[in-house]
Structures are given as structure tokens and as C-alpha cells.
Chain A
Amino acid sequence: MDNQSILSYTFNVDGNDFSSAGEASVQVKKILRNIGFDAEVIRRVSIAMYEAEINMVIHAGGGVAQLFVHPDKIILVLTDKGPGIADISLAMSEGYSTAPDNIRSLGFGAGMGLPNIKRYSDELDIQSKVGEGTTLTITVKP
């Protein structure tokens, strides 16, 4: 799928355990730090990835996250087989959330995830079909 990347990594995101959500993001952060990217770039990727990973656990029962490192860009692809997003533009509006109350009591579900991913990335592509799943492609350019 991504022939030009010099490095690629795949992570399984467990959808059954909210307390472990974010483990893939921690790994991504470590990898980018070891490669030697600028701290601000790493922070942007980490926050976007973490938001997307949390979404995947809350809404889709987990999925697969991939990291592709190019010389000029970092691409994250998060694929799930969750319920899909019926109205993407509505989901992109700040404060809109379908997260259940138990997730809010854990400090998430304020309806800021997708808008925040867009804010920290250079490009965000969302492909989603109701009943089939969602794929997020997040691009950050150093």
C-alpha cells in the first residue's frame, strides 16, 4: 500500500481494555524519538495518534494502526471494523460526541477527538461506511 516509506510498523489496538488504550501511541512516540525527529513533530504525531487510538477503543472495539515513515512525512493509518461514521462533517464539529457516559467519566468523549486530529496534522482523510468500519489516514510533515 505504501511502497515509498522507508520504515513501516503495525500495531494491534485492543478494544476490550480502555486502561491499555494508548500503548500503540507510546510505541510510535518511542520510534519517532529514536529516529531523531524534532520534538514538536513528535508531539503532533503523538497527540493525533493517541486521539485516534482512543476513538478506536471507545467506538470500534479496537483495530489496526500502521506507521509509515517517509523522508518528508509521517503517515498514520488506523483501520477498524467498527460501526462507521454516518455523518463525517457532523463528527468533525467540535463538541459533537456519541461517546457513552462511562467514557466521559474517564475524562474522554468531549467531542474534540477528530477536530483535534485535524488540528495537529497536515492532512486528514476519513473513509467510513456505516456497518463496515472506518479508516483514518493522518499525515504530518516535519
Chain B
Amino acid sequence: MKISEIASLLDAEVLCCKDGVFHQVHSACGSDMMSDVLAYVKDQAVLITGLVNPQVIRTAEMMDMRCIVFVRNKRPSAEMLSLAEETGIVILATQKRMFEACGLLYTNGLAPKEV
């Protein structure tokens, strides 16, 4: 699935790195606990979260993720967007809640694991 399709499925706004929306991604994870993302996630390209602080961007960066979706209408700060810009991580923001966002992406073909 292209990141642009994620944006469209979640009715999400692209806040940063718009030229990255044509990247293909195959798997995602949803969590507000970065400790768990670092411990349990492997090869997932998309992080879906409602947590907003710069460590969310750094966590995604360390794990080579391509896209972060902020749910529940959470808006990342300018500092966070500039960190994401440096690394080229596409930032999306949606009004949908975590459960619905994950469900929509799962049923449309995004997997919990890389295949």
C-alpha cells in the first residue's frame, strides 16, 4: 500500500515530507508506548500512535520507519516536524481513534508483520 492510500483511508492530513507519500509500505504497528515499539516491533514501516513528543520521531528513526500516523487529532510540534523532515519520515494526522485507524488499515491490506 502506498502511504498516500493510508492518508486517504484515514482521511488524514500530510504534515511533512509530502514527496514520500508514494513509498510502498507493507506493515504497521500501533502503540502509545515507545518502550514496547522498540522491544517488540520488527520491520514495520508505519507507526500509528496518539503519543506526541520528540521521542516518537526518534523511535521511528532508530527503527527505520517511513511514516508516523498521529491519531485522535493529535498535532506534532514544529520541533517534531523538523526532526521528521531531517530524516524524511512522512507525518500524517487523522481525527480517527487508534482502534478505528488500525482496523481500517488492517482490513485494507496492511499487515502486522512484514511478509
A107, B53: Cβ atoms closer than 8 Å: yes
Per the CB 8 Å criterion, the residue count for chain B at the interface is 19
B62, A19: Cβ atoms closer than 8 Å: no
Q: In this assembly, does A18 line the interface, its C-beta being within 8 Å of a C-beta of chain B? A: yes
| B79: min CB distance to chain A, Å | 7
| B71: min CB distance to chain A, Å | 14
Residues of A within 8 A of B63 (CB): 43, 47
**B interface secondary structure, majority:** helix
User: Among A50, A106, A112, A113, which residue has its beta carbon within 8 angstroms of that of B62?
Assistant: A50
* Mask: chain A, 65-103; 1 = CB below 8 Å from B; 0 = not: 000000000000000000000000000001000000000
**A interface secondary structure, majority:** helix
Q: Which of B35, B51, B58, B63 has the most CB of A within 10 A?
A: B35
User: Among A25, A94, A109, A116, which residue has its beta carbon within 8 angstroms of that of B58?
Assistant: A25
14 contacts between A and B (CB under 8 A): A19-B55, A20-B54, A26-B61, A50-B59, A106-B51, A107-B32, A107-B33, A107-B34, A107-B35, A110-B35, A110-B36, A112-B39, A116-B39, A119-B39
- Contacts A47-B62, A107-B32 supplied; 9 other A-B pairs, CB < 8 Å: A19-B54, A43-B62, A47-B38, A54-B55, A106-B51, A107-B59, A110-B35, A110-B36, A110-B39
